[in-house]
């Protein structure tokens, strides 16, 4: 019985890896004519919008090419930009454009903690990040060069790439670009293994938030007690 489960597990994981690899190849083909000198404004948002539109215009074809089932664009109220069904699993794809200019700040933001866990645990879906690394074109500062495209399932990234910051209920961020950690993807990690890693991280985050909140409460009380003079955290 154990042997059968291991064989099924290996097939499932190999299937995901093959699907991700095939998807990435399709994105490479889709943007092959734009790998040098993408006509876009310097604004990263404008560049990202252009990337998303081209994918949206071709998403049905990409699904067809990868033997996956096309799912309608979800709109703005989800953690993903595009979706598909592959081998009975729902995949949500988050498009990230990474400005490689080292003078530009990138926060690595992904989504809220609760939304991620609901998607992965409640829906038993797979969340995938597709990263488009771009930089200023050598020929013209008003153009962008697309340096790479990397596609990776979020729950398989190395443990040290995840972090949670104190924004409301907690915002999930990445410490590294997908390109930096792509060779460290743990293809044999299960979703339950990921939850073990992530829940520990979330608990530590909320414990820290609780301590910080209590310090601020104490500071407010002291401020009132001293007649609203000399406030400090």
CA distances from 136 to 31, 32, 102, 147 (A): 17, 17, 11, 10
Q: For residues 233 and 231, what is the distance between their CA atoms, to the nearest angstrom?
A: 7
Q: What is the mean pLDDT of residues 200-221?
A: 92
Over residues 48-77, the pLDDT tens digits come to: 888 999 999 999 999 999 999 999 987 777
- Which of 73-82, 129-138, 144-153: highest mean pLDDT? 144-153
* Surface-to-core class of residue 65, CB atoms within 10 Å of its CB (0-12 exposed, 13-18 middle, 19+ buried): middle
Q: Is 197 exposed, middle or buried (0-12, 13-18, 19+ CB in 10 A)?
A: middle
pLDDT band at 151 (very low <50, low <70, confident <90, very high): very high
Q: Comparing 14-18, 40-44, 115-119, which segment has the lowest mean pLDDT? A: 40-44
Query: In this structure, are residues 130 and 30 in contact, taking their beta carbons and an 8 Å threshold?
Result: no
Q: Spell out the domain ranges in the chain.
A: 2-225
Query: Topology of domain 2-225, per CATH?
Result: ECO RV Endonuclease; Chain A (3.40.600)
pTM of the model: 0.84
- At residue 84, the pLDDT reads 97
Mean pLDDT of 164-181: 89
Mean pLDDT of 121-133: 95
* Cα distance between residue 39 and residue 140, in whole Å: 10
User: Among positive and negative, which fits the CA dihedral 43, 45, 46, 50?
Assistant: positive
Look at residue 45 in the predicted model and tell me its pLDDT. 65
> pLDDT, tens digit, for every residue of 84-109?
999 999 999 999 988 877 766 566 68
Run of H or E residues at 222: helix 191-225
What is the Cα–Cα distance from 52 to 81, expressed in whole angstroms? Answer: 8
89-99 and 126-136 strand pairing: parallel
pLDDT of residue 40: 53
Let me know: does 52 contact 95? Beta carbons within 8 Å.
yes
Is pLDDT larger for residue 86 or for residue 229?
86
């Amino acid at each position: 019985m154990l042997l059968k489960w291991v064989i099924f597990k290996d097939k499932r994981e190999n299937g995901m890896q093959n699907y991700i690899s095939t998807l990435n190849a399709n994105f490479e083909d889709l943007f092959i004519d734009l790998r040098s000198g993408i006509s876009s404004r310097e604004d990263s948002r404008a560049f990202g919008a252009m990337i998303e539109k081209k994918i949206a215009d071709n998403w049905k074809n990409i699904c067809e090419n990868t033997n996956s089932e096309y799912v309608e664009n979800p709109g703005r109220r989800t953690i993903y930009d595009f979706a598909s069904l592959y081998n009975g699993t729902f995949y949500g794809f988050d498009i990230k454009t990474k400005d490689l200019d080292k003078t530009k700040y990138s926060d690595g933001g992904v989504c809220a903690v609760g939304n991620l866990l609901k998607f992965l645990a409640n829906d038993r879906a797979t969340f995938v990040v597709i990263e488009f690394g771009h930089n200023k074109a050598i020929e013209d500062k008003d153009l962008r060069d697309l340096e790479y495209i990397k596609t990776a399932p979020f729950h398989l990234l190395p443990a040290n790439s995840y972090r949670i910051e104190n924004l409301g209920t907690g915002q999930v961020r990445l410490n590294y670009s997908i390109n930096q950690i792509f060779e460290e993807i743990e293809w044999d990690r299960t979703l339950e293994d990921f939850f073990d890693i992530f829940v520990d991280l979330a608990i530590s985050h909320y414990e820290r938030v609780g301590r910080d909140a209590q310090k601020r409460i104490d500071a407010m009380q002291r401020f009132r007690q001293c007649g609203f003079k000399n406030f400090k955290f």
